[in-house]
Structure 1
Amino acid sequence: MQIRKKCIMFVGRSQAGKTTLAQYLTNRQLNYHKTQTVEVIDGHLIDTPGEYVEQRGFYGALSVTAANADAVALVQSAVEEGTMFAPSFGTMFGGKPAVGIVTKIDMATEEQIERADRYLKEAGAAICFKVSSVTGQGMPDLDKWIQAL
């Protein structure tokens, strides 16, 4: 019997770092491209277009896509001034665990990183990871969490 890897859906605004994060976690070359539609990567990472969180009309698509996920990762760039996540946003996924991932920490100040962390916790992330897909900083902790899921 083959053990199925847990499936995680990445949700966040355009250019938050969702695709780059997925590439890093699947040992692919970092190569930016605009995600146009939901992409399932290696059968266990779901990369969603930023428009799905930027336009409320797509929230239904996020909910439907989350049905195939074991957890939802709310992805927030540390260098973004604001956030697209409303308070308790992570609760809209039918009780799936919500984790926060602050990306681009290699480009941000400590203050920016803490602000992004606060946004994610307000959005309902039970735990937050601070990572850089470029340097690999913080990735071992995130990977350990994914493996334990």
Structure 2
Amino acid sequence: MKRALLVGAVGCGKTTFKQCVLGEKQEYDKTQAVEFFDSMIDTPGEFTEHRRLYSALNVTANQTDVIVMMQSVQDKRQIFSPGFSYMFHKPAIGVITKTDLADSPHDLDYIKQQLQLAGADDIFTISSRTNQGIEQLINYLE
């Protein structure tokens, strides 16, 4: 499996996705520090939300094969600046999370556009609650 660096805002679903992949019980667990696993690295949301911490993401990315930019369908902020992924010199994908909570298809389109602007090559949509899209994303990472 490709080693993935999970990046995104606080509460966007990075850790929940990690729990799905690793077969762990799904429960909220605020990531306080970078956590390393065989197939992925889970990062605190603050590393994405505060530009002064980008260097920590950049150094950590050296140990990965792909950057996974994650954004909740409920978060209408511009989480990733345009071209965000280019600082890593790695392939990058976008993942729209919590899709079961979308109010309209427009919400999905908006987040997709934000992830494309950030440099995502492919976009996946997932819901850890319903398992929609999880298998397709895992297959991509394998």
TM-score range relative to shorter protein:
over 0.9
Equivalent-residue separation in structure 2 for 1:83 and 1:14 (angstroms): 13
Task: Name structure 2 gaps, 5 residues minimum.
Answer: none
1:146 aligns with 141
Q: Percentage identity across aligned positions?
A: 39
Aligned residue-pair number: 141
CA contact (8 A) 1:76 1:101 kept: yes
Deviates more, 1:118-127 or 1:79-88: 79-88
Distance 2:28 2:126 in 1: 17
From 81, 90, 98, the counterpart of 1:96: 90
Secondary structure at the aligned position of 1:133 is classed as coil
**3-state SS in 1 of match to 2:129:** coil
Q: Is 1:134–2:119 an aligned residue pair?
A: no
| Cα distance in 2, alignment partners of residues 138 and 87 from structure 1 | 25
Structure 1 residue 83: Cα displacement: 2.2
How far has the Cα of 1:27 moved from its partner? 1.3
| SS of corresponding position for 2:74 | coil
Cα displacement (A) at 1:82: 1.3
Pairing of 1:1-149 with structure 2 (within 5 A) = 5-41=1-37, 43-93=38-88, 95-108=89-102, 109-147=104-142
Distance 2:17 2:112 in 1: 17
CA RMSD of aligned residues (A): 0.9
What is the SS of the residue equivalent to 1:144?
helix
CA shift for structure 1 position 99: 0.4
TM-score, scaled relative to structure 2: 0.96
Structure 1, unaligned runs of 5 or more: none
Q: After TM superposition, what 4+ stretches of structure 1 lie above 6 angstroms from structure 2?
A: none
